A and B are shown apart, each in its own frame.
Chain A
């Protein structure tokens, strides 16, 4: 029994640590993806030696300088492609035989950005945008739909309301600058006569007010299309959940924002 308990304990600690470290590692990954830099072919061409070897493969730019010594072939084979568009070499390890999936995964580690003006090509093999099945067709995640739904609004201060059941529930004010939403605030927020802006922190509905404040924080500086995430507010705020038990109606806020946009600029900046 002692041994089993100890084995269970070790297995447990390992799996929790694995989960946490996987997460830590993958968030690094996300951050590098997020700041995907653009390079011109001229910039890549400057790095054409063993001292600094950059390559373009399927539109991605890779600095493989540190990897050269680990490559299983003679160095010449890999150095030949430094500072060049190397997709051909990548896809033909041997004539007609591309590099393996494992190699592709390793290559990812050396990505530093993408080749300017090569967005369309850059999807394969290393930067496939991971859209989960949930996102397909979702009105909260379809960028083109958002653009179609919105005209390009003018910069300025907007005010809008959401009314329902004979009472005004949401009244927002926000600023639009260069297509981004800023300084979203609630001039009024109530339901059945309860003013959410004046709730005590121990009130059962107080988390709902906190969540509304989070909406304002999280939308700050985001493109206007981000408001459609409010169809599924959990995309935007982190504790619409079972912990507090409180629920948020993101679509009311969305409706009020869109009302403001429809009305047009309230005051010029």
Chain B
């Protein structure tokens, strides 16, 4: 996650603290008060913030195309979602503990009655129910008792809807500041309803598989043509793909994210797919002519912040796909278009066989002066060194650097760059293996 805060971040922070600010006049400051009242203040504050972070986590899960750009891309937004969920879980537990302990300053029976009142005090029990629902879907998220399969985890994550409803009821029955909880609560529920019930029906666009080209033994490029209306995307973005081909061995009707490998002007939507899991392995043999639903686009791999600066691209494995899109874009664009800067692409491949887009890049570099290209073979030359990088691109420290590839590669390259004093704000990468 970058250090720079995005527009969306500021909005989130403000909304997150809003309910607490609304409650503050009644809460007051516990300065000089007894430990009991101080704990009570902490308990109530953490409860308010715990609920607002939970509701915001739900809101940011909406996955509306374009929405993620205010947060620096969907991958980063996912990171924010995860942090919000984590914060909520911790705050809710602080909330209960602090309120219990604050009542213990009166007496133990009072403390226990505060946490476990008679059953007809539903307001409190809704809170407990919300926490239990959180536990059900967060325990596998934070790997409390081992991890689950992705689809299993995804369906358990639906318990978040119960947690949201129960949490809001808990607050509405107890808190005097009703309006703010109504607004946030409805926004959260609307986001979940859209994401889970409406968006599969309304925001997926039907495409047909036009061709499947095998690049190497476990990588294919699928070309899709829209049945009706095409999605409009920019170079380097990604989409969610839901294959409907019934003959597939796995992943029929499941959505998975893939980077777009075609330039935005291409009439086909091209996707490079490497067999990394069951679903992507099955897609290697998808039937031409079958239907695929496309949702998106998301992400902003090439931020539009510095379109005129020179760039260095470092791609490896299937992480080369955004650069394939980028090269195709450069090939197709006229000189007035962005990016205006010069681009150097270094393809970090295992060996010549695995450099499956080598011919394309070679071709583009011969056609265009503003696109320099070279390939580095890991098997032959070992991990990328600073000397090699300097030889290929002497001014790399001055460029905007984009990288995408397997985690070992990006970690190695990032460290190499940071060691040379390249600020991390200039290194861009988008990984979405967790989406």
Using a CB–CB cutoff of 8 Å, the interface residues on chain A facing chain B are 1-2, 4-6, 8-9, 11-12, 15-16, 19-20, 22-23, 26-27, 238-239, 243
CB distance A15 to B113 under 8 Å?
no
Q: Is the interface of B mostly helix, strand, loop or mixed?
A: helix
Known: A1-B83, A6-B142. 9 other contacts (CB 8 A): A4-B90, A5-B142, A6-B144, A9-B135, A9-B144, A19-B100, A19-B104, A238-B113, A243-B117
22 A-B pairs (CB sep. < 8 Å): A1-B83, A1-B142, A2-B142, A2-B143, A2-B144, A4-B86, A5-B142, A5-B144, A6-B142, A6-B144, A9-B89, A9-B135, A12-B96, A15-B97, A16-B96, A16-B100, A19-B100, A19-B101, A19-B108, A20-B115, A27-B109, A239-B118
CB distance A23 to B111 under 8 Å?
yes
Tell me the complex Cα distance, A81–B334, Å: 107
CB distance B104 to A243 under 8 Å?
no
Min CB distance A161 to B, Å, is 32
Contact partner, A19, options B111, B121, B135, Cβ 8 Å? B111
CB distance B138 to A15 under 8 Å?
no
Any A CB within 8 A of the CB of B357 = no
CB distance B108 to A26 under 8 Å?
yes
Which residue of chain A has the shortest Cβ distance to B135 in the bound complex? A9
B378 partner residues in chain A, CB cutoff 8 A: none
Min CB distance A24 to B, Å, is 9
Which residue of chain A has the shortest Cβ distance to B89 in the bound complex? A5
If A5-B142, A243-B123 touch, whether A19 touches B89 (CB-CB below 8 Å) is: no
Q: How many residues of B contact A (CB 8 A)?
A: 28
Tell me the complex Cα distance, A6–B142, Å: 7
Any A CB within 8 A of the CB of B93 = yes
CB distance B82 to A16 under 8 Å?
no
Which residue of chain A has the shortest Cβ distance to B91 in the bound complex? A8
Contact partner, B90, options A5, A15, A20, Cβ 8 Å? A5
Min CB distance B88 to A, Å, is 11
A11 partner residues in chain B, CB cutoff 8 A: 93
Q: Chain B 153-187, CB within 8 Å of chain A: the 1/0 string? A: 00000000000000000000000000000000000
Min CB distance B215 to A, Å, is 36
Tell me the complex Cα distance, A11–B98, Å: 13
Tell me the complex Cα distance, A5–B138, Å: 9
Tell me the complex Cα distance, A20–B104, Å: 11
CB distance A19 to B115 under 8 Å?
yes
CB distance A8 to B90 under 8 Å?
yes
